[in-house]
Amino acid sequence: MRFDSKEISHYKVPTVTTDPVVLSTLLAELSLRQLPCGGWAALASSSQPAIEPTCYSALALGSAPLGDIERAQDFLLHTQNPNGSWPVFSGDDQEGGWVTSLAVMSLFDLVPAIPARLKGLHWLVSCVGREGNWFWKWKFRTADRHVRFDPDKFGWPWFPDTVSWVVPTAFSILALTQLPCSCGGLEKVPFRVERGVEMLLDRACPGGGWNAGNGTVYGAALAPHADDTAIALLALCDRAKEPVVQASVDYLERVGPTLTVPWSLAWAILALAAHRRPITLLQRSLVALPDLVSIDDTNTLALVCLALDFQRALSVFGVTL
């Protein structure tokens, strides 16, 4: 458990960016894309509010005088499912999904949202990848061995009743480690976080970095993805001495300068900054990408803003530098 960031209000961390002009332009565009309901759609051309872009956008706009954060937070509170989880988008079925961890982190500062956050955290603790069940553990150990992994090490699925994957596990770890204490029915938090960390370390690709879920399938090593690797590294910030983490940071540092697309580049900046590696050149590459303001994908637009304001972004994820 990490307790070092819980007292910091990420909406109050001042903006420090290498390029304030670009950032303010992008934040203005992000603000324009906010829907009347308070949420954001995944694509600029869409009007279906979704949780992932709403969380990134609310966090990106948090310290700017633009946008309406209160409306975004109200939207999040009103879309929570009765079971404590969040749907992927407004109108979705109500069993809950992987975005619950993002919603919990986005409501971190809001006092009236404490009951909703607690319900969300309870749901996260109860949501287990299928390999956490004894029967599937046994099956993966005996009959189904084409994918190399240790089923004793489990995390979170994208969607209930499926196995653990890297991104939902990393986001869940980030959300749960911001909890001030593991009491009031949340006693299992340290256990779940530890299993999740073990799962991430177990599923890394052989040369470092992470693919979507596993490192080896049918005997073939899978290639790491920059964004999956970066998100996993954020969750493993306090495990910097682990050889897997060091190899993965090295991989990300190698691949970072070759990235020419904003989503992966933005995640790489955040993860490398979290692991105290130089990011100035990567930030320059990011602001030099063409047509940033007209990116159709609002998730990416918001993430670029977070990468340009990386210190505040890291505090959002509970990472202190």
CB of 213 to another protein, least distance (A): 8
CB of 13 to another protein, least distance (A): 27
Whether 33 and 44 have beta carbons less than 8 Å apart is answered as yes
**C-alpha span between 22 and 45 (Å, rounded):** 22
**C-alpha span between 119 and 225 (Å, rounded):** 32
What are the φ/ψ torsions at residue 219 (nearest 5 degrees)? Answer: 80, -5
Residue ranges of E strands in 58-210: none
Say whether 53 sits in a helix, a strand or coil: helix
Q: Near another protein by CB under 8 A, which window of 56-64, 114-122, 158-166, 238-246?
A: 158-166
**C-alpha span between 282 and 257 (Å, rounded):** 6
50 makes contact with another protein (CB under 8 A): yes
Give the DSSP H/E element, type plus range, for residue 221. Answer: strand 220-221
Measured from the CB atom, is 15 or 90 closer to another protein? 90
**Of the candidate residues 40, 56, 75, 98, the single one contacting another protein (CB under 8 A):** 98
Q: Which two tokens stand for residue 189?
A: 């938090």
**Of the candidate residues 17, 79, 80, 211, the single one contacting another protein (CB under 8 A):** 211
What are the φ/ψ torsions at residue 13 (nearest 5 degrees)? Answer: -70, 130
Number of residues located near another protein, criterion CB under 8 A? 48
131 makes contact with another protein (CB under 8 A): no
CB of 180 to another protein, least distance (A): 30
**Of the candidate residues 162, 278, 293, 321, the single one contacting another protein (CB under 8 A):** 162
Burial class (CB in 10 A: 0-12, 13-18, 19+), 243: exposed
**Of the candidate residues 40, 89, 108, 210, the single one contacting another protein (CB under 8 A):** 89
88 makes contact with another protein (CB under 8 A): yes
134 makes contact with another protein (CB under 8 A): no
CB of 164 to another protein, least distance (A): 10
Q: Which two tokens stand for residue 235?
A: 């969750």
80 makes contact with another protein (CB under 8 A): no
Q: In 3D, which of 301, 300, 306 has the Cα closest to residue 279?
A: 306
Q: Which two tokens stand for residue 13?
A: 């961390």
321 makes contact with another protein (CB under 8 A): no
Q: In 3D, which of 9, 117, 4 has the Cα closest to residue 63?
A: 9
Q: Near another protein by CB under 8 A, which window of 27-35, 56-64, 91-99, 270-278?
A: 91-99
**Of the candidate residues 55, 72, 222, 306, the single one contacting another protein (CB under 8 A):** 222
* Residues counted in the chain: 321
297 makes contact with another protein (CB under 8 A): yes
158 makes contact with another protein (CB under 8 A): yes
CB of 131 to another protein, least distance (A): 12
Sign of CA dihedral 95, 210, 246, 15: negative
**Of the candidate residues 114, 181, 223, 321, the single one contacting another protein (CB under 8 A):** 223
Q: Which two tokens stand for residue 192?
A: 């779940």
Q: In 3D, which of 228, 257, 252 has the Cα closest to residue 240?
A: 252
Tell me which residues in 181-210 interact with another protein (CB under 8 A): none
**Of the candidate residues 29, 52, 202, 309, the single one contacting another protein (CB under 8 A):** 52
264 makes contact with another protein (CB under 8 A): yes
**C-alpha span between 72 and 173 (Å, rounded):** 23
Enumerate binding residues for another protein (CB under 8 A): 41-43, 46-48, 50, 52, 88-89, 92-93, 97-98, 130, 146, 157-159, 161-163, 165, 167-168, 211-213, 217-220, 222-223, 225-228, 259-264, 296-297, 299-300
